[in-house]
């Protein structure tokens, strides 16, 4: 990535600019709805933007759906240097000092998307905000997953869906065929991403791998895979080699008992084993760490583990639900978490000297983002009440209660 290119983007369109509605898309053919409703395929600029029927596919056509009025209005908003309310996740992340998905995605696209991005944006502007090609698409073919993470929802996890059904939530899950122009869209894609669910467990993902390889698109295409690291697809390694690059985003939110609690179904020993496999495979890994009130107290253990395993690329994300995040943490727990992070930072400060590369300094940056996340989110007593109620339900299905996994929380659950 050229820092000059990212700077040019912000200098031209303002620091709030987001490339997602211009060259990105999040496309889904599945969902959970009430028993009397049906699931519509949808295409949104990104996976975290506010959902709703305004993103539903029009006339069985992805390209047409990407140029409805809401898409054009959003493009204009970013050109005008404004973040709208439907971008609440990024707004909250930036306020909290965490890694903003918007900022990370802009940098990511400049690093990996093999087109003249500034020229492409200008062409879209000249065409009346119409974008006829999508260059980076994230595809969600199903919610099939072997985890029931405490911060997840049934639409993104079949295990979570089963858990919710047991809680008395009445709903149904559906998968639809892809839309008529899906395979035409794939022809122009430079970055094909997969999400879910657990991506590598989904047959639809493997079938699309094979299609792209058979059509001869693979050598010019980057594949991105979001994974919980519960498995490593040894059988796919030969397929991976046919693509321009394979980027693995591994969701690791803690170590030991903490991740096994937060990502119910996880086995820490298996995760560690698979991380080693990733190191020796033809993929490039990025660790995504979702900060919650559950794992922030042991965050330095996570940083130390990343350092010991030479995992230098870490993004710090703010959990979607405020009541599971720092807002739910009482003052005494915040101060304890901050003291541990500040003390731990001292062990890594030497990486900021000229003797080390920018990669090593990422450990300090990760700690700083964790600290900033705590410092920039105010305590909300209502969030704490909701957190306690949520955890009491989660504890009914977890191997051990949170009060044992993170004993510092015990006084609030006595």
Domain range summary for the chain, segments of one domain joined by + = 16-319
Q: Which among 11, 7, 1, 13 is positioned nearest to 125, based on CA atoms?
A: 13
User: What's the rounded Cα separation, in Å, for the pair 186 and 135?
Assistant: 9
Per-residue pLDDT of the chain (414 residues; tens, 9 = 90+): 567 888 999 999 999 999 999 999 999 999 999 999 999 999 999 998 999 999 999 999 999 999 999 999 999 999 998 888 899 888 888 887 666 889 889 999 999 999 999 999 999 999 999 999 999 999 999 999 999 999 999 999 999 999 999 999 999 999 999 999 999 999 989 999 999 899 989 999 999 999 999 999 999 999 999 999 999 988 889 999 999 999 989 999 999 999 999 999 999 999 999 998 888 888 888 899 999 999 999 999 999 999 999 888 898 988 989 999 999 999 999 999 999 999 999 999 998 887 766 677 889 999 999 999 999 999 999 999 999 999 999 999 999 999 999 999 999 998
User: Between vectors from CA 284 to CA 15 and to CA 101, what angle results, nearest 5°?
Assistant: 25
Q: What is the pLDDT of residues 36-90, one digit of tens each?
A: 999 999 999 999 899 999 999 999 999 999 999 999 999 999 999 888 889 988 8
Q: Please state the three-class secondary structure of 375-395 as a single string.
A: HCCCCCHHHHHHHHHHHHHHH
> Nearest to residue 146, comparing CAs of 76, 8, 55, 251?
251
Burial class (CB in 10 A: 0-12, 13-18, 19+), 365: middle
Nearest to 45 by CA among 9, 83, 93: 83
Q: Is 252 helix (H, G, I), strand (E, B) or coil?
A: coil
Dihedral class, residue 128 (left if φ above 0, else alpha if ψ from -120 to 50, else beta): left
CA distances from 69 to 51, 55, 136, 333 (A): 16, 10, 21, 46
* The CATH fold of domain 16-319: TIM Barrel (3.20.20)
379 CB burial (10 A radius; 0-12, 13-18, 19+): middle
Cα 269 to Cα 281: distance, rounded to the nearest angstrom: 19
Structural contact between residues 373 and 98, judged by C-beta atoms closer than 8 angstroms: yes
156 close to 196: Cβ distance less than 8 angstroms: yes
| Sign of the four-CA dihedral 59, 61, 62, 63 | negative
Q: What are phi and psi of 263, to 5 degrees?
A: -115, 80
* Rounded-to-10 torsion of CA 372, 302, 280, 209: -60
Q: How far is residue 209's CA from residue 218's CA, in Å, rounded to a whole number?
A: 8
Q: Which of 82, 90, 157, 50 is nearest to 318 (CA)?
A: 90
CA distance 350 to 330: 32
47: Cβ–Cβ under 8 A, 6 or more apart, which residues? 26, 138, 140, 195
Q: How far apart are the first and last CA of the chain?
A: 50
Identify whether the C-beta of residue 227 lies closer than 8 Å to the C-beta of residue 193: no
pLDDT at 99: 67
Cβ count within 10 A of residue 7: 10
Q: Of 164, 97, 167, 60, give the one whose Cα is nearest residue 318.
A: 97
SS3 for 245? strand
């Amino acid at each position: 990535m050229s820092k000059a290119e990212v700077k040019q983007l912000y200098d031209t369109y303002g620091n709030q600019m987001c490339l997602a509605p211009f060259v990105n898309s999040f496309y889904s053919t599945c969902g959970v709805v009430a028993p009397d409703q049906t699931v519509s395929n949808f295409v949104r600029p990104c996976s975290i933007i506010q959902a709703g029927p305004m993103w539903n596919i029009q006339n069985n056509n992805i390209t047409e759906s990407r140029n409805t009025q809401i898409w054009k209005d959003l493009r204009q908003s970013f050109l005008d240097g404004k973040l709208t309310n439907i971008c609440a996740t990024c707004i909250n992340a930036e306020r909290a000092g965490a890694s903003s998905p918007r900022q990370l995605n802009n940098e990511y696209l400049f690093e990996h998307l093999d087109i003249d991005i500034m020229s492409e944006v200008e062409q879209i502007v000249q065409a009346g905000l119409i974008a006829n090609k999508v260059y980076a698409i994230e595809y969600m073919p199903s919610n099939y997953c072997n985890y029931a993470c405490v911060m997840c929802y049934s639409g993104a996890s079949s295990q979570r869906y089963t858990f919710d059904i047991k809680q008395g939530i009445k709903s149904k899950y559906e998968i639809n065929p892809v839309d008529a122009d899906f395979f035409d869209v794939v022809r122009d894609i430079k970055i094909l991403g997969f999400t879910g669910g657990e991506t590598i467990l989904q047959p639809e993902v493997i079938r699309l791998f094979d299609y792209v390889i058979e059509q001869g698109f693979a050598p010019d295409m980057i594949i991105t895979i979001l994974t919980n690291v519960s498995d490593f697809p040894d059988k796919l390694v030969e397929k991976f080699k046919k693509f321009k690059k394979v980027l693995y985003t591994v969701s690791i939110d803690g170590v030991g008992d903490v991740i096994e609690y937060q990502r119910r179904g996880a086995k820490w020993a298996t995760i560690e084993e698979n991380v080693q496999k990733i190191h020796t495979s033809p993929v490039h890994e990025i660790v995504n760490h979702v900060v919650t009130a559950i794992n922030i107290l042991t965050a330095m253990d996570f940083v130390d583990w990343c350092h010991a395993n030479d995992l230098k690329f870490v993004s710090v994300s703010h959990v979607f639900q405020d009541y599971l995040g720092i807002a739910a943490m009482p003052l005494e727990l915040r101060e304890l978490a901050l003291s541990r992070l500040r003390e731990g930072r001292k062990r890594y400060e030497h990486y900021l000297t000229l003797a080390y590369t920018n990669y090593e300094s990422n450990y300090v940056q990760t700690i700083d983002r964790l600290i900033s996340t705590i410092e920039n989110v105010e305590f909300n007593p209502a969030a704490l009440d909701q957190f306690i109620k949520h955890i009491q339900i989660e504890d009914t299905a977890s191997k051990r209660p949170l009060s044992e996994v993170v004993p510092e929380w015990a006084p609030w659950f006595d």
